[in-house]
Homo-oligomer: A and B are copies of this chain.
Amino acid sequence: MENFHLTMPTDIYFGKDSIKKITKGLNQYKKILLVAGSGSIKKNGVYEKVTQQLDSMKVKWVELWGVVPNPDIEKVREGIKLIKENDLQFILAVGGGSVIDTAKAIATGFYYEKDPWELFYDERKVQKALPIGVVLTLPATGSETNGNSVISNRETREKLAIHNDILRPRFAILDPQFTYTLPPIQTAAGSADILAHIFEQYFSNSKAYMIDRISESIMKTVIKYTPIALEEPENYEARSELMYASTLALNGLLSSGKISDWATHAMEHEVSATHDITHGVGLAILFPSWMKHCYSDERAGKYLDYAKNVWDISEKDPFNAAMMAIESTSKFFKDIGLPSSFTELKIEQNYVNIWTDSIVKRRKSIGSFKVLFEQDIKSIYQSAF
């Protein structure tokens, strides 16, 4: 086990009608910025529930609407302006990962004297942040309790991330009922995103028995409950398990004592920078291809664990077991309604070179489970068509 530091300070209020706990979370803050997406929270009643609570607490708020998937730095700039103009003290994100990530970038960008995009070129500049709270409506990114923010810049065609514990939200309201109205593709892409986060930490050369078994437990949960949530959108049990899985998949727990990989995420970020596809969809397409590429005798033990403990594959030959497990992974993504290749998304093959060039011009290699160089990256992109 590698040395590690871990803290999970977010106050999680989980369950039916947990929105009422927002009074505990907001505590003394009386002037806040409410950040939201394109309006689905008005349709499903979440906006009303949140603002009723704010009203009852005599909290004043300013609203920032229009955060899009693969959220843009422009919206961050807009948010910082609103905070300064209105002298706000707290940011409440009501939505999924894009909304939360935008809130985090605003929170730290507020204290940075220059343009906030500079923080994404050098995350050491992230030093201070306004407090943030979250009302989650889409289980996927884990952003509700972690310190990560991923923002895109459509002008420079970049998608970059910052990480810092000071960006961890003060509280997260997790009411599984708020996810009943999610479109099936969002439920499915969210689950792919959760699994992808686990893969990035699970497929590692670090030895960490307990954390590996816990990772498998969360993978099994997502695999079991995603089809149920798709079949019965108002199944509380399924929605609860998926919501809590998203949180535990990326709050620091699963990487404790381990060196994580994150090559596939780096590769997906290139794809969504050029094509604005849903993050989880890109990951679901890339991961089986990455898994195949990384297989080798010395890494076979990990694949055997994955096959046996996640997919109940009893095959003893490591290579066969690995291929069966990868096949099960692909089939799972397909069965929940996700595309299996970039070809299906009508992306042209010449992007293999564009994406690869964009990665290698900044970094010589990516990943750690297997260190990937230019040819590896190309080959993984290629076989995802």
Contacts and interface: CB of A to CB of B under 8 A. Distances in A.
A180 to B, nearest CB: 15
Nearest to A210: B221
Contacts of A11: 5-7
A259 to B, nearest CB: 13
Interface in A1-32: 1-18, 21
Contacts of A10: 7
Interface in A212-248: 213-214, 216-218, 220-221, 224-225, 236-237, 240-241, 244-245, 248
Which residue among A5, A218, A225 has the maximum number of chain B CB atoms within 10 Å of its CB?
A5
Interface in A197-217: 207, 209-211, 213-214, 216-217
B8 A245 contact: no
Contacts of A207: 237
Contacts of A236: 1
Contact of A209 (B9, B12, B241): B241
B224 A218 contact: no
A164 interface: no
Contacts of A17: 3
A368 interface: no
Contacts of A16: 3
A257 interface: yes
Contacts of A256: 12, 14, 244
A219 to B, nearest CB: 10
A282 to B, nearest CB: 25
Contact of A257 (B8, B14, B224): B14
Contact of A213 (B209, B220, B257): B220
Contacts of A241: 1, 209-210
Q: Which 5 A-B pairs have the closest CB atoms?
A: A3-B15, A213-B217, A9-B9, A210-B221, A8-B8
